[in-house]
């Protein structure tokens, strides 16, 4: 029996903040993502919390819109920020119970050649049990197995499983196995 692990580095979509020429390029957005989501979880937002939220949102293009260059503000219920036409934006939520939402990392498609090369590596390794990290979700991993792996001449795995990781960036781990 052959066991293997491989970092698939997001097969189809990857966080834009991770796609820069070097780590320093996306690091501020990754740190803002983490800090804003931590601030959002507080039961009550202090004046200092609100100022910090506005500062981080401003630095990441989220004061005029929910859609910044690298981050996205998701709102499900309630309102976090008021953006008047005249005057400065302000945090109107008083704490976690007054709204539901979070900051997401924006994604962009991965280069098709990189995805095909990942499939070639898994095919060449020929593992019976293949662990993977940085998989987007179960559906993506299943489609990669059924379509892309087959396209490079590989044998598809019989079972595909994904476990939600505890990484705040949404990086998950998966397991592909043969009978």
The reply to whether 97 and 167 lie within a common domain is: no
87: which 2 tokens?
């005057």
Q: What domain count does the chain have?
A: 2
The reply to whether 42 and 100 lie within a common domain is: yes
pLDDT score, position 137: 85
Reported as a single tens digit per residue, the pLDDT across 73-88 is 999 999 999 999 999 9
pLDDT score, position 12: 81
Flag residues of the chain having pLDDT under 50.
none
The reply to whether 25 and 90 lie within a common domain is: yes
Predicted structure pTM score: 0.71
Q: What is the CATH number of the domain that holds 162?
A: 3.30.110
The reply to whether 135 and 170 lie within a common domain is: yes
Of 107, 128, 144, the residue at which a domain comes to its end is 107
Report the distance separating Cα 82 and Cα 89, nearest Å: 6
Contacts of 33 (CB under 8 A, 6+ apart): 17, 71, 103, 104, 105, 168, 169
Reported as a single tens digit per residue, the pLDDT across 131-141 is 999 888 889 89
């Amino acid at each position: 029996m052959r066991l293997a692990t491989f970092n698939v580095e997001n097969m189809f979509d990857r966080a834009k903040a991770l796609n820069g020429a070097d780590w320093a390029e996306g690091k501020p957005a990754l740190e803002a993502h983490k800090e804003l989501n931590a601030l959002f979880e507080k039961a009550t937002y202090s004046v200092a919390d609100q100022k910090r939220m506005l500062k981080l949102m401003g630095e990441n293009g989220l004061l005029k819109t929910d859609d910044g260059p690298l981050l996205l503000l998701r709102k499900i219920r309630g309102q976090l920020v008021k953006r008047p036409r005249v005057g400065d934006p302000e945090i109107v939520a008083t704490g976690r119970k007054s709204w539901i939402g979070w900051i997401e990392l924006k994604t962009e498609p991965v280069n098709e050649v990189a995805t095909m090369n990942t499939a070639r590596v898994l095919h060449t390794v020929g593992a019976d049990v293949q662990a993977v990290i940085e998989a987007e979700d179960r559906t993506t991993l299943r489609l990669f197995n059924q379509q892309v792996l087959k396209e490079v001449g590989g044998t598809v795995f019989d079972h595909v499983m994904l476990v939600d990781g505890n990484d705040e960036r949404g990086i998950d781990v998966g397991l592909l196995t043969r009978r």
